[in-house]
Amino acid sequence: MQPIDLEQEKKDILNRYKALLRSCSDKTNTKDKKEIRKALNIAVEAHKDMRRKSGEPYIFHPIAVAHIAAKEISLGATSIVCALLHDVVEDTNYTLQDVENIFGKKVSQIIDGLTKIQDIFDKNVSLQAENFRKMLLTLSDDVRVILIKLADRLHNMRTLDNMTKSKQLKIASETLYLYAPLAHRLGLYTIKTELEDLGLKFTKPEVYKAIAQELKATKEERNKYISKFTKPIKAKLKENGLEFSVTGRSKSIFSIRNKMINKGVNFDNIFDKFAIRIIVDSSPESEKADCWKIYSIVTDFYKPNPDRLRDWVSTPKVNGYESLHTTVIGDNGKWVEVQIRSKRMDEIAEKGYAAHWKYKQKGSKENSLDTWIEKIRELLQNPESNAVDFIDDFKLNLFFGEIYIFTPNGDLKTLPKGATALDFAFEIHTDVGLKCMGVKVNGKLVPLSHQLQSGDQVEVITSQKQRPREDWLRFAVTSRAKSKIKSALKEDKKVISVVGKEIAERKLKHLKLKLTSQTETELIKHFDAGTSIDLYFKFGTGAISNTEIKEFVLLKKGGWYQTIKNKIYGPSVSITQTRKESEKIIVFNDNDEVLNYKMAVCCNAIPGDLIFGFLTVVDGIKVHRSDCPNAIQLRSNYAYRILQSKWILKTEIDFVASINIKGIDSVGLMNKITQIISNQMNVNIKSININSNDGVFEGSITLKVHNSSFLKELTDKLEKIKAITSITRTYKHN
């Protein structure tokens, strides 16, 4: 090991500091530079005995993060100070109060945000999700926390070679899983691309190396082709008196690999491996017209693919990205992507949120990125949101592309790709979503689950009588819609549980048993209800049959021996508990699907454990505990193969039941039938089909019910309607 040259290290620190000051010279004044120097001195002193895995002084890292924040994200003096100090509170004796005393409240708040998110991906899944939620809380408060964190992650990825293989895999997986999509969403395309390429380099090194070598081998040929391709375009642009610059670049290794996988082809068969970027120097008033003028010139020389035109000049992306993209066919039948944008658009595309903010401050048009951050703030304020559900919902908004939908008045709404008609209703307003009865897309009535396409014009039909249903969660995609539906269902559940409590009291009184707090506790345990609201909701919806209530009362009145045993061991009889445990099975996804599964041997989940399903390539669905040692790796690398799972009693599974009804047609008959089904029994009607012929009717109603006892109770009530002569029934799993 070579001896440490402290003098040389001091010179290196000084040189890096000077480079940092040069990178932010246009954004800082003398006062700012004094603050930056003060922050550097504190960081150097605090980290003086610390070294990185490579052996170099630890202080090199915060300086590098500050340099990325200043040069590559265009952040100002406050962010540079925070970047220099971002590890001081976490790793040294300095406290947040010390930072606040020296640099003020704002710097202290940002450092606090950065400290809270040091270990987002912990061994415990729920802790990981909770920490991620904390990170996003800082996003709604001060977006600079996230931007500095991305700069920190980028430098860690650039210096990942010195880590152990397992550490490389963990950090690279996290980067691809969360940080790269987050950079993309904040408009940091350059950083997003580098994070993706570095992520691939450490997760699939052979693939990365092979594509990198192919790109290197074809670089000279590619440059010649770009030069030849752009020559006539440059001449024509000069003729038109436009101030412009033209650059050519190859696609990222990560995006080339994605295309190879998606299209099932090798490197040679990826035709648009490079793109041409034309940047025009225009005033804000004329930049849109100039972009279309350049598009016209390009397509005069080269034939465009009409399916590959992307107009983000007229309709910018949610993250603020504006550009005109077209793919044209050049010489030798090669496809070339051409990107056309103004200097302002290019700066926003390269520097993301920071540049967007700069231009907005100058009075430019409002950007929808603020709307997106506002949605995150709203999501975070939902007190009912479970942390793990939250991260899943949020990731949907990160990963999904965007579609553009028009209201009947022509207003434009942006939704994630895959969003449904119901999501659009909630995008208009929460009340519109909650009272949504039907939706017309392009003038035609469609189901609420209908997936929308860009350009659709959508009209929402509402009714004051409509209430959200649990099956809405099955096809709601956006976080906003899901959280509002869950909150409304919880309120409805409370209302039904009030009625359910009255039903419970009445039925128990009939069996000569008073509903006391002790009886309530015993009922909760016996029926595995979780809370009193869940218990009375079961009574209110008829999920607990009269037979089951009688069984409970018999157990409770099981004589002196049982009474003493209850006092010692708890109210439930052990045999019943064992039976109930053995009757538990696992259901999947929001609609509680019954699927084949195997228990993973690595963690051996048992009834009551928090669990998730993982779709394997060979063995179908494997069920893991949420705190399984393999959970983080599976969630980070294979999020799309994770299935939401939970334990449920067999008797609680919803069945789809078809009831065939015959009888004498009479006025108001259908109203009586639906009143009993929907209002009295709180059952969802899936479909109804009734035919009337000369005073006689026959038809079928398809319902979702809990069990055969519940179904019998329903049909008994229907048979009391005088006009009905017969009811036959069948049922099967949903």
Residues 522 and 636 occupy one common structural domain: no
Instruction: Select which of 90, 243, 374, 719 is catalytic.
Output: 90
Give residue 581's pLDDT: 47
CA 224 vs CA 219, 227, 248, 328, 502: distances in Å? 9, 5, 11, 18, 83
Q: Has residue 677 got a pLDDT over 80?
A: no
Residues 19 and 127 occupy one common structural domain: yes
Residues 195 and 312 occupy one common structural domain: no
Give residue 292's pLDDT: 95
Instruction: Select which of 56, 91, 141, 609 is catalytic.
Output: 91
Residues 163 and 250 occupy one common structural domain: no
Domain-located, residue 395: no
Distance CA 540, CA 543 (A): 8
pLDDT per residue as tens digits for the range 630-673 = 777 777 767 778 888 888 776 555 666 788 888 877 767 777 78
Domain-located, residue 681: yes
* The domain boundary residue, chosen from 418, 447, 477: 477
Averaged pLDDT score across all residues of the chain: 79
Residue 421 is encoded by which pair of tokens? Answer: 């008609």
* The domain boundary residue, chosen from 565, 582, 599: 582
Residues 601 and 644 occupy one common structural domain: yes
CB atoms within 10 A of CB 381: 11
Domain-located, residue 128: yes
348 vs 380 pLDDT, higher one: 348
Lowest-confidence pick of 27-41, 99-113, 415-429, 576-590? 576-590
* The domain boundary residue, chosen from 477, 509, 536: 477
User: What 3-state class would DSSP assign to 216?
Assistant: helix
Residues 112 and 175 occupy one common structural domain: yes
Task: Assign residue 306 the CATH number of its domain.
Answer: 3.30.460.10
Specify the DSSP class assigned to residue 557. T
What confidence category does residue 338 fall into, taking pLDDT thresholds of 50, 70 and 90? very high
Q: Has residue 589 got a pLDDT over 60?
A: yes
Domain-located, residue 366: no
Span 440-457, mean pLDDT?
A: 87
User: What 3-state class would DSSP assign to 512?
Assistant: coil
Task: Assign residue 666 the CATH number of its domain.
Answer: 3.30.70.260
Q: Has residue 194 got a pLDDT over 90?
A: yes
Lowest-confidence pick of 30-44, 124-138, 258-272? 124-138
Domain-located, residue 166: yes
Does the predicted TM-score (pTM) go above 0.85?
Answer: no
Distance CA 31, CA 622 (A): 60
Give residue 520's pLDDT: 87
Amino acid at 141: D
Residues 526 and 624 occupy one common structural domain: no
Give residue 682's pLDDT: 62
Checking DSSP bridges between strand 244-250 and strand 274-280, what pairing results, if any?
antiparallel
Give residue 1's pLDDT: 47
Give residue 125's pLDDT: 39
Residues 454 and 324 occupy one common structural domain: no
Give residue 380's pLDDT: 53
Give residue 83's pLDDT: 92
Q: Has residue 114 got a pLDDT over 80?
A: no
Task: Assign residue 424 the CATH number of its domain.
Answer: 3.10.20.30
Residues 561 and 606 occupy one common structural domain: no
Domain-located, residue 699: yes
pLDDT per residue as tens digits for the range 131-150 = 555 555 555 556 788 888 88
Task: Assign residue 16 the CATH number of its domain.
Answer: 1.10.3210.10
Active site residue 91: yes
Residues 183 and 223 occupy one common structural domain: no
Q: Has residue 238 got a pLDDT over 60?
A: yes
pLDDT per residue as tens digits for the range 608-635 = 788 989 888 777 889 998 878 777 777 7
As a dihedral over the C-alpha atoms of residue 129, residue 474, residue 609, residue 616, rounded to 10 degrees, the angle is -90
CB atoms within 10 A of CB 536: 27
pLDDT per residue as tens digits for the range 45-66 = 888 888 888 788 889 999 999 9
Residues 326 and 440 occupy one common structural domain: no
Domain-located, residue 136: yes
Question: For the residues of 311-352, what is the DSSP string, one character each?
Answer: ETTTS--TT----EEEEEE-GGG-EEEEEEEEHHHHHHHHHT
Residues 463 and 519 occupy one common structural domain: no
Percent of the chain with pLDDT over 90: 16
pLDDT per residue as tens digits for the range 702-726 = 877 666 666 777 788 888 887 788 8
Q: Has residue 196 got a pLDDT over 90?
A: yes
Give residue 340's pLDDT: 95
What confidence category does residue 577 fall into, taking pLDDT thresholds of 50, 70 and 90? very low
Q: Has residue 128 got a pLDDT over 50?
A: no
Residue 183 is encoded by which pair of tokens? Answer: 């950079």
- Dmax over Cα atoms in the chain, in whole Å? 105
Active site residue 411: no
Domain-located, residue 345: yes
Q: How many domains does the chain have?
A: 6
Task: List the domain range (segments joined by +) for residue 560.
Answer: 486-582
